[in-house]
A = this chain, B = another copy of it.
């Protein structure tokens, strides 16, 4: 018996913890869920009573293993639906989030199994994020922000650290796509502007704001 609200709280706690690595604060949750801090305090007490989170008054919350499994199953569903929307329904990668936010709450393990099979058991979503398996395990990846690369590195673009429509649309418009191979030709030390050769053809200039959000894997 997991309500819609519960699923959204657990998912938000998971994602905030992923970003910060610390306990999740009431105000951060209120901000992401667009509800008042008072509502968050209220709700947290309820899910703490159900042992989905551990709660330290005035300090914040952390998912229990039970809560984590629910959160991850929602994320799994969300990402599988995103793959479907892009691969089968021809949506763009910047159009799928809101729809997947609804689809992720549909309850049927058989549905998810069939969908997973229909998609050929994908391991990443259209933004390069890993899809956890049915047991809640993530394959670990060796990606890092391009910002951490050095001149001369040859890398593959495998994910984004920022999922806003404006960033995704900037990449689409610039014809930068997941899977592209990139050679970092030079880095301007002053402002971290990167000069990159893409797929051995085009040259592109990326600002620091861009390279810190491009996740890459070093090739060779």
Contact = CB atoms under 8 A, between A and B. Distances in A.
A18 to B, nearest CB: 26
A108 B114 contact: no
A2 to B, nearest CB: 14
Interface stretch (A88-96, A173-181, A200-208): A88-96
For this chain, the copies found in one complex come to 2
Interface in A85-103: 85, 88-91, 95, 98-99, 102-103
B115 A108 contact: no
B114 A91 contact: yes
A21 to B, nearest CB: 34
Contact of A98 (B89, B91, B108, B115): B108
A-B pairs, top 3 by smallest CB distance, nearest first, are A89-B114, A102-B106, A99-B108
Interface of A: 85, 88-91, 95, 98-99, 102-103, 106-108, 110-111, 114-115, 118
